[in-house]
């Protein structure tokens, strides 16, 4: 899947979460922009690594895990985005609620809200889309179970509750 399609899906889902949180319009615009560009740093990763169907080597994993840093730098220096809310969302979208994510091992509410939102939307799209390294698409029930079971470890529990109501409506 191209970054543009993935970014579009993640930004739409993030916007829905933001609306449920009753974020002001200005914040919704920033959230949508951050969500659309959250994986822009992947343009620096060779396609054969990015779409590798096998287990990544340690060096390849390091390269993949650097994409939030690369993306943040690209947005700041080449696209002249200076809004720290957007930049922090892109930088921290792979942090996990329990502190085991990357790049900074932030935990809980130390992870910027937009990054916590994008993380959920990103995971949903990953689970419901075919990828070379993960060809099986999960069923709606499996996705809900996976997200629920990751509440409090990978994802913000309050956002999980909101997100599950959003994707339940999507299913109807």
Q: How confident is the model at residue 1 (pLDDT cuts 50, 70, 90)?
A: very low
- Length reported for the chain: 172
State percent of the chain over pLDDT 90. Answer: 80
Which CATH number is 72's domain given? 1.10.3210.10
**Is the pLDDT assigned to residue 2 strictly greater than 80?**
no
pLDDT tens profile 92-113? 999 999 999 999 999 999 999 9
Q: Which residue segment(s) compose the domain that 61 sits in? A: 3-171
Kindly report the number of other CB atoms within 10 A of residue 156's CB atom.
Answer: 22
Q: What is the pLDDT of residue 137?
A: 79
pTM check: above 0.85: yes
* Helix, strand counts (H, E) of the chain: 9, 0
How many independent structural domains does the chain possess? 1
Tell me how far apart the alpha carbons of residues 86 and 96 are, in angstroms, rounded to a whole number: 18
Average pLDDT (68-96) is: 97
Q: How far apart are CA 118 and CA 85, in angstroms?
A: 13
The number of CA neighbours under 13 Å toward the Cβ of 55 is: 2
Q: Specify the range with the lowest mean pLDDT, choosing from 45-59, 77-91, 95-109, 121-135.
A: 121-135
- Diameter over CA atoms, the chain: 43
User: What's the pLDDT tens digit per position in 3-59?
Assistant: 588 999 999 999 999 999 999 999 999 999 999 999 999 999 999 999 888 889 999
User: What is the per-residue burial (b if ≥16 Cβ within 10 Å, else e) of 91-127?
Assistant: bbbbbbbeeebbeeebeeeebbbbbbbbbbbbbbbeb
State the pLDDT at residue 135.
66
């Amino acid at each position: 899947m191209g970054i543009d399609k993935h970014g579009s899906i993640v930004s739409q889902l993030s916007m829905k979460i933001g609306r449920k949180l009753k974020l002001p319009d200005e914040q919704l615009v920033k959230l949508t922009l951050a969500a659309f560009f959250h994986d822009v740093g992947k343009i620096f990763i060779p396609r054969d690594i990015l779409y590798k169907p096998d287990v990544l080597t340690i060096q390849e994993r390091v390269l993949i895990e650097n994409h939030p840093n690369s993306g943040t730098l690209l947005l700041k220096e080449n696209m002249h985005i200076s809004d720290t809310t957007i930049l922090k969302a892109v930088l921290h979208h792979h942090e996990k609620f329990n502190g085991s994510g990357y790049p900074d091992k932030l935990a809980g509410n130390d992870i910027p809200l937009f990054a916590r939102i994008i993380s959920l939307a990103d995971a949903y799209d990953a689970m419901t889309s075919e990828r070379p390294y993960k060809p099986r698409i999960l069923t709606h029930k499996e996705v809900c179970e996976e997200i629920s079971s990751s509440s409090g470890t990978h994802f913000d529990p309050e956002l999980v509750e909101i997100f599950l109501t959003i994707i339940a409506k999507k299913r109807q």
